[in-house]
Amino acid sequence: MQNGFYSLFDTALGRCGLAWGGGGILSVSFAESDDAKTRASLMRRAQDAVEVTKPPGEIAHVVADIIALFEGKARDLSYASLDLTGIAEFDRTLYDLTLAIRPGETKTYGDLARALGDITLSRRVGQSLGRNPFPIIVPCHRVVGADGMMTGFSAPGGTDVKRRLLKIEGALGPDLFDLLE
């Protein structure tokens, strides 16, 4: 879709990646099982991107904040410039609503569907968030099931990672497993 650059970087959750171009961030990838899979995830929106070991300015700031978040320091990444080229209008609108969910807060799929004008859009909301090319920045981890259940998180590590991120951000308190560590 777009050319650009990408960088892989180590975090407490593994080696993640971020791709960008002249219009902003093109994609973000959680750590996959190996670097090749992380690259492939990034390349869905950044075909022919060139690897850069030291990202520039704002991109370096975003990378540093992702690393800090995964180390347990709350961060708000809503300042990041996103390149929404090729993103469907429904998805753009939903991503804007999701960006408005502050650290420490959650919304349900139904909340977002209602904000879009129709509770029956809940499934479509989940599908759109499942293809979110900007996880962490567009904080789909802050969207939970109607009963507060950790559902619908397709990133590597699944709902365990979602729960961990929500705890870091203060949306969830410690549980029994935290007390056993």
Residues annotated catalytic, as ranges: 140
Distance CA 129, CA 82 (A): 15
What's the token pair of residue 164? 């961990």
Instruction: Give the span between the Cα atoms of 92 and 105, in whole angstroms.
Output: 21
Alpha-carbon Rg for the chain, nearest whole angstrom, is: 16
Strands 50-51 and 5-11: parallel
Residue owning tokens 């904040």: 65
Longest pairwise C-alpha distance within the chain = 47
How far apart, in whole angstroms, are the C-alpha atoms of residue 19 and residue 72?
Answer: 23
